[in-house]
């Protein structure tokens, strides 16, 4: 199972274990091109990333999520 498949599973919530930390060489890599229209998997992943961002900005939710 690829990383994207794992993250796009309905039962998986993105958390800090899924986030690449500062200093990781992946952050300096050239991004792959994205084709449109987006696949259902890519749309789900984007929605989950947005939900993670919202959760991380809410102090109560962020504390619960660790």
Residues in the chain: 66
The pair of structure tokens assigned to 38 is 């987006």
Structural domain total, the chain: 1
Tell me the torsion sign for CA atoms 32, 33, 38, 43: positive
* pTM metric for this prediction: 0.75
Burial class (CB in 10 A: 0-12, 13-18, 19+), 55: middle
pLDDT above 90 for 28: yes
Q: Tens digit of pLDDT for each residue in 35-66? A: 999 999 999 999 999 999 999 999 998 888 77
- CB contact at 8 A, 62 and 55: yes
Domain limits at 12? 3-65
Q: Span 5-32, mean pLDDT? A: 88
**Cα radius of gyration (the chain):** 13
């Amino acid at each position: 199972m690829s990383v994207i498949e794992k993250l796009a599973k309905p039962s998986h919530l993105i958390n800090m274990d899924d986030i690449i930390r500062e200093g990781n060489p992946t952050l300096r890599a050239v991004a792959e091109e994205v084709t449109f229209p987006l696949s259902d998997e890519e749309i789900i992943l984007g929605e989950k990333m947005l939900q993670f961002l919202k959760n991380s900005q809410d102090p109560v939710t962020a504390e619960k999520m660790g």
